[in-house]
Structure 1
Amino acid sequence: MASTQQEIAQLMADVTPWYKDPGRRKLYALLLIALLSSATNGYDGSLMNGVQSITIVYPDKAIVFNYPHGSTQGLLNCIQTVGGLVSLILGPYMADYGGRKWTIFLGCCTVVIAGIVQCFSVNIHMFTAARFLIGMGSGFSGLGSPLLITELAHPAERGKITALYNTQYYFGAFLGGWITFGTLYINSNWSWRLPSLLQAAPSLVQVFLVFLLPESPRWLVSRGRNEEALKILAKYHANGNPDDGFVQFEFAEMQATIKLGEQSGRWKDLFATRANRKRVFLCLCCGVFAQFSGTSLTGYYLHNILEDIGIDSPNYQNKLNGFILMVNMVEAWFWASMVDRFGRRPLFLIAAGGMCCTFATWIALTARQLQNPKQTSWGKGVIAMIFFHNFFYNFAWISLSISYPLEILNFKIRANGLLMQNIATYVCLAISQYVIPLGIAAGSWKFYFFFEGWLVIQLVTVFFCFPETKGATLEEINQTVDGADAVEEIKVKAHEIEDNQELRQRHEPGLQAPEYARA
């Protein structure tokens, strides 16, 4: 049993690369199912960008939307986020008591039903209600999926795999952007009905495949189902060998954590200690900063921004939207794969500093374009800044805004802590979605200073408050937040558990670790 940091590091160094390990290859192939949850939200932003352009190409098709603008346009976009907020009331209880997989399944079923209702809406009220249900369903699956991914992934790849979760937002957005471009000139209501229906496609795949996923071993240990937890760890982290040194370390550490009282946490546990309050603060920061970085401007209102700088061709708008999303997707995947090489903190700092500069330039170029409407070069500069701004955003926020909170939260408060991050995300996103069209209409480029102010706050907060979490197990990360004493207590408990198991086997020679089939 590893009881020192050096022994843990040695165990990690001896781990076979995942692509040479059949068990982990199978695990990560299965985790693709959970990764799809983020794609639903990404598709939504592209869908609404595309639908707003469709209503311009064929105004007769906009009858169901009643030509939304201003507050109505904001409501259509933010109602999905409101549904996500409602899901957070029940989500943590479902994840802690029903399990991660059932939470994902229920959320995906809700999205599928809502997608069908959205497609066949006959008025704006029906369409709005469907979008509310989509938000609620994606909220359930969006809570269960990252929890399951984080708690199943091998520590050697946990950072990269968890970081990949939120990058699938761009995968969904990429699909949505090009699907709405493809349906742009369908001369019927199916120009918006078809992309609306296809929003349910990722969730439909998950409904049929989610139960192929193993349950979280940490959740199983918390429910007293230790044998099942060990079986899963052995199968996917050691190709069926329950006596593997690293598996025994993981399993003992999980048991020790639970034995110290780390079962389903109560709300007051979020604020019970200084360390937990810091965790909650960091979770809230991740939610707020990810949404108030300025990217929500192009995520839902690219159509408005381009019109502001004199680009009003729906064909061009949809092509540009699709190209932006394609570049974002590639950038996000690349930087998600780099989190364990560069660490979390450097990526956060580069992202915050870069966005402060690019967004200030974006504001200046927009102001000059509006002052000189016939001088299109300023508008082209705005488009360039959109790409540069997204580039820096993709350094960290798309991949780490969820994976970083999951790392710093201990098991006891992980579901409720992620809920706090989700609340911050949904509240800020709803504010952005509702206020942006009003702000653009009232103040245009002056309104953008709201986001620049938040970018400055983001840079200062990251520099002083965000700790590094690179290269440790979830339990070991407690050392960063709680201090060394808390980690040593876990190690002592884990050592006691292993010693008790060895003593029991000596007194009961017939007692063997169960044999499990190799993956």
Structure 2
Amino acid sequence: MLVVGRFINGICVGICSAQVPVYVAELALAHKGGLVVGAPQWAITWAILITFYISYGCSFLEGTASFRAPWALQTIPVIFFFFGIFWMPESPRWLAKQDRWDKCQKILMLIHADNNPDDDLVRMELQRLREACDMDRIQSNVSFTELVKPPMLWRFHIGVFVQIWSQLTCINVIMYYITFVFGMAGLSGNNNLVASSINYVINVFVTIPALLYLDKVGRRPILLMGSISLTVWWFLCAGLMGGYGSSAPPGGLNHIAEESWSITGTPAKVVIACSYLVVASFAPSWGPVSWVYSPELFRLRL
């Protein structure tokens, strides 16, 4: 049942992950793209933090309720999400592409001008959409093959691989398995869980600078800074684990696994610190930028 549920959940999350950045990017004004499109990533960091503390609290429950309750509680935000979608406006860019200009104008007025039809910002945005639509009508046929042909191939490659490399920064090693890493470093029980929760707090608050400065600094410099810092902290973790660590005794370490690793003393403390710094490097860089950058690469008709 869990495997099937995970499969269905994966499909649904995949749909949302594909649609949300595009939808939000099309609602946002160009000069606020980084802030608005990066905001869902900040929401994700809050969700991870809240979910961790709910799970931590439920761990004190007796019996199967300790793991059934966190799963059940997930249905509450999903129900609000489902019904909330019915009140979401359509994307102005999509409406413009369908020549539904009256509806497009109403939504632009609603989200950008407090329903003021004479707002200059709305008029400018409408004019920009008209120009984009006129340009796209010159090449009206759209197919997937266009993405894999020059000149769009390079943009397509970047759009896909920015997302791929966002995952290959190995942030999920820290997000999913931080209790295992800290267990190898000698933490156990509540000490491990509380120390792990700090990770998720860092994730929430260090994302904020990216939202504030992404539109001022640019996407590429932030990705470069994030890549360099992630490289430093991961190499330190690997070097310390390899240089000062050793195989755990038979039966595993701190209830982790039978085949585990162990590191103690000052090197263990540095590994814990580097784990925090990995998150502090990812949160303001590859986390939000990977969502912001990809939707900005493609033309309206694509």
Letter in 1 for 2:78: S
Within the alignment, does 1:341 sit opposite 2:216 as a pair? yes
Letter in 1 for 2:134: K
Identify the residue that residue 272 of structure 1 maps to in structure 2. 149
Letter in 1 for 2:288: S
| TM-score for the superposition, normalised by structure 2 | 0.87
- Mean CA deviation greater in 382-391 or 278-287: 278-287
Within the alignment, does 1:301 sit opposite 2:193 as a pair? no
Identify the residue that residue 168 of structure 1 maps to in structure 2. 43
| Distance (whole Å) between structure 1 residues aligned to residue 124 and residue 274 of structure 2 | 48
CA 1:374/1:220 → structure 2, altered by over 3 Å: closer, same or farther? closer
- Equivalent pairs counted in the alignment come to 286
| Distance (whole Å) between structure 2 residues aligned to residue 374 and residue 228 of structure 1 | 62
Deviations 1:102-154 (A, max 9, x none): xxxxxxxxxxxxxxxxxxxxxxxx11111111111122222222222111122
Within the alignment, does 1:407 sit opposite 2:296 as a pair? yes
Out of 261, 268, 271, the position equivalent to 1:382 is: 271
Out of 219, 223, 244, the position equivalent to 2:119 is: 244
Letter in 2 for 1:300: Y
> Does structure 2 retain, via aligned residues, the 8 Å contact 1:152–1:217?
yes
> Does structure 1 retain, via aligned residues, the 8 Å contact 2:53–2:197?
yes
Deviation at residue 374 of structure 1 after TM alignment: 7.0
Letter in 1 for 2:56: F
> Does structure 2 retain, via aligned residues, the 8 Å contact 1:368–1:378?
no
Identify the residue that residue 241 of structure 2 maps to in structure 1. 366
Identify the residue that residue 76 of structure 2 maps to in structure 1. 201
> Does structure 1 retain, via aligned residues, the 8 Å contact 2:166–2:287?
yes
Identify the residue that residue 16 of structure 1 maps to in structure 2. none
CA 1:375/1:233 → structure 2, altered by over 3 Å: closer, same or farther? closer
Structure 2 matches for 1:95-114, cutoff 5 A? none
Tell me the secondary structure at the aligned position of residue 86 of structure 2: helix
| Distance (whole Å) between structure 2 residues aligned to residue 173 and residue 243 of structure 1 | 42
Deviation at residue 177 of structure 1 after TM alignment: 0.8
Flag as ranges the 4+ runs of structure 1 deviating above 6 A.
none
> Does structure 2 retain, via aligned residues, the 8 Å contact 1:160–1:339?
yes
Deviations 1:62-121 (A, max 9, x none): xxxxxxxxxxxxxxxxxxxxxxxxxxxxxxxxxxxxxxxxxxxxxxxxxxxxxxxxxxxx
| Distance (whole Å) between structure 2 residues aligned to residue 339 and residue 374 of structure 1 | 38
Deviation at residue 273 of structure 1 after TM alignment: 3.0
Identify the residue that residue 134 of structure 2 maps to in structure 1. 259
Deviation at residue 194 of structure 1 after TM alignment: 0.8
Deviation at residue 167 of structure 1 after TM alignment: 2.3
> Does structure 1 retain, via aligned residues, the 8 Å contact 2:241–2:263?
no
Identify the residue that residue 284 of structure 2 maps to in structure 1. 395
| Distance (whole Å) between structure 1 residues aligned to residue 283 and residue 39 of structure 2 | 12
Identify the residue that residue 234 of structure 1 maps to in structure 2. 109
| Distance (whole Å) between structure 2 residues aligned to residue 408 and residue 203 of structure 1 | 31
| Distance (whole Å) between structure 2 residues aligned to residue 247 and residue 185 of structure 1 | 53
Letter in 1 for 2:207: A
Identify the residue that residue 51 of structure 1 maps to in structure 2. none
> Does structure 2 retain, via aligned residues, the 8 Å contact 1:309–1:369?
no
| Distance (whole Å) between structure 2 residues aligned to residue 190 and residue 294 of structure 1 | 31
CA 1:374/1:151 → structure 2, altered by over 3 Å: closer, same or farther? closer
Q: RMSD of the alignment, in Å?
A: 2.0
State the percentage of identical aligned residues: 22
| Distance (whole Å) between structure 1 residues aligned to residue 141 and residue 185 of structure 2 | 52
| Distance (whole Å) between structure 2 residues aligned to residue 268 and residue 358 of structure 1 | 40
| Distance (whole Å) between structure 1 residues aligned to residue 20 and residue 28 of structure 2 | 12
| Distance (whole Å) between structure 1 residues aligned to residue 124 and residue 210 of structure 2 | 30
Letter in 2 for 1:266: S
| TM-score for the superposition, normalised by structure 1 | 0.52
Structure 2 gaps of 5+ residues are 248-261
| Distance (whole Å) between structure 1 residues aligned to residue 65 and residue 94 of structure 2 | 44
| Distance (whole Å) between structure 1 residues aligned to residue 231 and residue 265 of structure 2 | 24
Tell me the secondary structure at the aligned position of residue 239 of structure 1: coil
| Distance (whole Å) between structure 1 residues aligned to residue 120 and residue 54 of structure 2 | 49
| Distance (whole Å) between structure 2 residues aligned to residue 204 and residue 389 of structure 1 | 34
CA 1:286/1:264 → structure 2, altered by over 3 Å: closer, same or farther? farther
Identify the residue that residue 225 of structure 1 maps to in structure 2. 100
Structure 1 gaps of 5+ residues are 1-125, 414-519
CA 1:140/1:193 → structure 2, altered by over 3 Å: closer, same or farther? same
| Distance (whole Å) between structure 1 residues aligned to residue 191 and residue 173 of structure 2 | 18
Deviation at residue 317 of structure 1 after TM alignment: 2.6
| Distance (whole Å) between structure 1 residues aligned to residue 51 and residue 244 of structure 2 | 30
Tell me the secondary structure at the aligned position of residue 283 of structure 2: helix
